[in-house]
Chain A
C-alpha cells in the first residue's frame, strides 16, 4: 500500500466516523515510524475538515459529525505524546476544556458543542457531565487550556458557571483562561453578569466564539 492510499484511508476513516479504523491507522503510523505530521495534515485533519464542510452544507447530520469528531479524538489520544514531541500543538487552533457543570447530568448539548469544536480543528478535552467545580479548577491549573467552556441546562445549575468563574479568580488563574458559557437557560446578559468572556446560543456560534477568543489569547 502506498502512502497516498494510506493517507486517503486516514481521511476517510475520520470522515466516515469509523473510530476503530482511525485508531488502527493511527497506531500503524506510530509503529512504522511514518511521517506523523504529514499523516495528520493530509489525512486525519483533512477528514475532520471535510466532515465540518459537509455539515455546513447540510450533507452531514449531527450524528455523522459526532462520529467523525470522536474518531478524530481517538486518533489524537493515540498520537498525542508523539505530537507533543513535534510541537504538535501547532496543528491545532487551541486547546479547549468543556464540561457540564456540577449537579447537571445533561450531556447532549455539551457533546454537540465539543464535536463542532473538534471538527473546527480545536483540541477538545471533554471533562464530562456533573463535573465538580474543584475538578474543573484543578484541570485548568494542570492542563492550561486556552478556553474553558461551561454548559448548563437548568436554571438551578447555571449558577455553577458563576461559581467556577469566582473560583478561578480566587485561585488566581482567571486571566489564564477564557471562559465561554452556554445552555438552554443561559443568555448573553447572564454571561455578562457573571463576567464570562463569551456566550454562544448554539454549536455553530460556539465555534465562531472560540475562534474569536483564541485570537485574543
Chain B
C-alpha cells in the first residue's frame, strides 16, 4: 500500500543566510565592543585565560570573535538528552519537536479547588507524574517553585522531586556552587557512578543570563562546578525589547545571540565539549504597564533565535505556548528541537495540570501540520476504481488509513466535536481534567527503587541543614 514517496513537510523559516550572518556579525561586535558582565570571578578568570580582555573593576569581559569561533568548534553538535528510563532518551538534534514541562512557576491553580495559590513540592510531584504521560514531552522542568521548602534548598527539592516522579530527562537550576554536590550525589545514587553521569546525561541545567548582557555569579559558579560531569547546559536569555533589550525584534535577537555565545565561550573554555542547548526565550512587554508578556513577537524572536542555533549546528530550544488550536506551529515548522513548554498559564507564571494534557495535544496538532503530506500514500488506483460518483468508504486503503495517525491524527482530548465549538475551552478542559484525574489516581510509572528514594531524602535533609545561611 505504501509506495516510494516523499513527505512534503510544512516548514517555515524567517532568516535568510545573509541575515544569519548579519546577526552573527552584530553579536560578535556586541561581545567585542560592549562586552559582557560576569559577576563570577571564576568566570572572569577562565575568560582571561582564554584571551578575553577583562575589566576587573566593572567585571566586564570583552570577548574577541576568534574566541567565539573557537568555542563553537568545541561545542558538540549532537548528543542524547538522556532519561532515567532510556526509552525516553531524546537525541538532539531531533527530527521531531519535543516539549519541556514548563517551570518554575510561582503559582498553581489547585486541581481540586480551582483556586490559585503558591506552588508546593507536591505540585512538582503531581506535574511530573502527569508529564510522564504526555507523549510529546521530552524533558521536565520542575513546574513550580516549592514554597513549602526552605528558601536555600527549595530548588534542590524541586529538581530531585521531579526526577523521582518522571523517568524522562529533567532540567532545572542551581543557585550556588555549594548545591552542585547534592545534585551529583543524587545522580550517582540513581546511576551508580560518576562515569554514568557523564555518559547518561539524565539531568541538565538551564542557565538564565540576565539581559542585557549579564551573567550572575551563583548560577555561573554552580554550572562551572558541574562541567566535569558534562551536564548539558541550556543558556536561556530572556531579553525583552524596549525593557532589557533595544526596542526592536532584530536587535533583541542579536542580543539573545550574543548572550548565548558568551555562555558558550565560558563553558567551552572551562570544559571543552560541554553539551549546549541553544536557548531562546525572548519576551515582550506591555508598554503601558511594563508587564512581561508572551505574544506573537516573542515567538517570532524565538523562531529567529532558534534558527541561529541551527546556524551554529547546535540543538535548540525555543519558548512557545500552545493554545488549543496549535500556537506551537511556527516553532514546530521551524524544526526547533525542544519547545519550552507545556503546562502553564498566565504568561508562564502559573502551573496548571490540565494544561500539560491540553498543550501536549496542541503539540500534536502542530506536529501534524509540520508532517505535511506524504506522496507515499498515492491511492490513484482508488480514484480509477470508484470513478465518478460513489464514495471511498469501502476501499481497503480507507479502512487502513483511518487508523493511521501519521496521516489522520485523532485527538482523544481535543476531539473533532470539541474543536471549533462555541464552548471549546470548557469542554477541552473537562476532558483534560478527566485525564489528569485518571493519571493521578493510577499507578506511578517507573518508580525509583526504595533505597534510592531513601538516599535522596537523606541528601535533601543534609541540603536543608548544610546550605542554610549560604547565598549568592
- Interface pick from B1-9, B28-36, B252-260, B389-397: B389-397
List which B380-425 residues lie within 8 A (CB) of chain A: 389-391, 393-395, 398-399, 402-403
Query: Inside 8 A of B399's CB, which chain A residues have their CB?
Result: 17, 61, 63-64, 67
Query: Inside 8 A of B395's CB, which chain A residues have their CB?
Result: 63
Q: In whole angstroms, what is the CA distance A39 to B177 when docked?
A: 79
Candidates A61, A66, A105, A129; contact of B394 at CB < 8 Å: A66
Q: Is A197 among interface residues, defined by CB-CB distance under 8 A?
A: no
Name the distance in Å between B386's Cβ and chain A's nearest Cβ: 11
Query: Inside 8 A of A108's CB, which chain B residues have their CB?
Result: 391, 393
Q: Is the CB of B394 within 8 A of A63?
A: yes
Query: Inside 8 A of B394's CB, which chain A residues have their CB?
Result: 17, 63, 66-67, 70
Q: Is the CB of A63 within 8 A of B398?
A: yes
Known A63-B394, A67-B394: A129·B402 in contact at CB below 8 Å: no
> B390: nearest residue on chain A (CB-CB)?
A107
Q: Is the CB of B402 within 8 A of A63?
A: yes
Q: Is the CB of B393 within 8 A of A111?
A: yes
Q: Could you say which interface size class chain A belongs to?
A: 10 to 19
Q: In whole angstroms, what is the CA distance A107 to B398 when docked?
A: 17
Q: In whole angstroms, what is the CA distance A176 to B323 when docked?
A: 54
Q: A112-134 vs B: 1/0 string, CB under 8 Å?
A: 10000000000000000100000
Q: Is the CB of A129 within 8 A of B393?
A: no
The interface centre, meaning the residue of B390, B393, B395, B398 with most chain A CB atoms within 10 A of its CB, is: B393
Q: In whole angstroms, what is the CA distance A63 to B389 when docked?
A: 17
**Total A-B residue contacts, Cβ distance less than 8 Å:** 31
Q: In whole angstroms, what is the CA distance A63 to B408 when docked?
A: 14
Q: Is the CB of B391 within 8 A of A111?
A: yes
List which A34-66 residues lie within 8 A (CB) of chain B: 61-64, 66
Q: Could you say which interface size class chain B belongs to?
A: 10 to 19
Candidates B389, B390, B391, B403; contact of A61 at CB < 8 Å: B403
Query: Inside 8 A of A129's CB, which chain B residues have their CB?
Result: 389
Query: Inside 8 A of B402's CB, which chain A residues have their CB?
Result: 61-64
Q: In whole angstroms, what is the CA distance A46 to B395 when docked?
A: 23
Name the distance in Å between A176's Cβ and chain B's nearest Cβ: 31
Query: Inside 8 A of B398's CB, which chain A residues have their CB?
Result: 63
Q: In whole angstroms, what is the CA distance A147 to B397 when docked?
A: 34
Q: In whole angstroms, what is the CA distance A178 to B393 when docked?
A: 28
Query: Inside 8 A of A17's CB, which chain B residues have their CB?
Result: 394, 399
Query: Inside 8 A of A64's CB, which chain B residues have their CB?
Result: 399, 402
Query: Inside 8 A of B403's CB, which chain A residues have their CB?
Result: 61
Q: In whole angstroms, what is the CA distance A216 to B407 when docked?
A: 45
Query: Inside 8 A of B391's CB, which chain A residues have their CB?
Result: 107-108, 111
Name the distance in Å between B388's Cβ and chain A's nearest Cβ: 9
Name the distance in Å between A31's Cβ and chain B's nearest Cβ: 27
Q: In whole angstroms, what is the CA distance A112 to B393 when docked?
A: 9
Q: In whole angstroms, what is the CA distance A108 to B390 when docked?
A: 8
Q: Is the CB of B393 within 8 A of A62?
A: yes
Query: Inside 8 A of B390's CB, which chain A residues have their CB?
Result: 107
Candidates A66, A70, A107; contact of B389 at CB < 8 Å: A107
Name the distance in Å between B438's Cβ and chain A's nearest Cβ: 16
Name the distance in Å between A184's Cβ and chain B's nearest Cβ: 16
Q: A1-29 vs B: 1/0 string, CB under 8 Å?
A: 00000000000000001000000000000
Name the distance in Å between B414's Cβ and chain A's nearest Cβ: 16
Q: Is the CB of A105 within 8 A of B393?
A: no
Q: In whole angstroms, what is the CA distance A17 to B393 when docked?
A: 12
Name the distance in Å between B28's Cβ and chain A's nearest Cβ: 57
Query: Inside 8 A of A62's CB, which chain B residues have their CB?
Result: 393, 402
Name the distance in Å between B385's Cβ and chain A's nearest Cβ: 15
Query: Inside 8 A of A66's CB, which chain B residues have their CB?
Result: 393-394
Q: In whole angstroms, what is the CA distance A107 to B390 when docked?
A: 6
Q: In whole angstroms, what is the CA distance A112 to B392 when docked?
A: 12
Name the distance in Å between B287's Cβ and chain A's nearest Cβ: 48
> B412: nearest residue on chain A (CB-CB)?
A58
Q: In whole angstroms, what is the CA distance A64 to B395 when docked?
A: 10
Name the distance in Å between A128's Cβ and chain B's nearest Cβ: 10
List which B209-228 residues lie within 8 A (CB) of chain A: none
| A to B CB contacts below 8 Å, 25 in the list | A17-B394, A17-B399, A61-B402, A61-B403, A62-B393, A62-B402, A63-B393, A63-B394, A63-B398, A63-B402, A64-B399, A64-B402, A66-B393, A66-B394, A67-B393, A67-B399, A70-B394, A105-B389, A107-B389, A107-B390, A108-B391, A108-B393, A111-B391, A111-B393, A129-B389
**Ranked 3 nearest A-B pairs via Cβ:** A66-B393, A63-B398, A63-B399
Given contacts A63-B402, A105-B389, A107-B389, 8 further A-B contacts (CB under 8 A): A17-B394, A63-B393, A66-B393, A66-B394, A67-B399, A108-B393, A111-B393, A129-B389
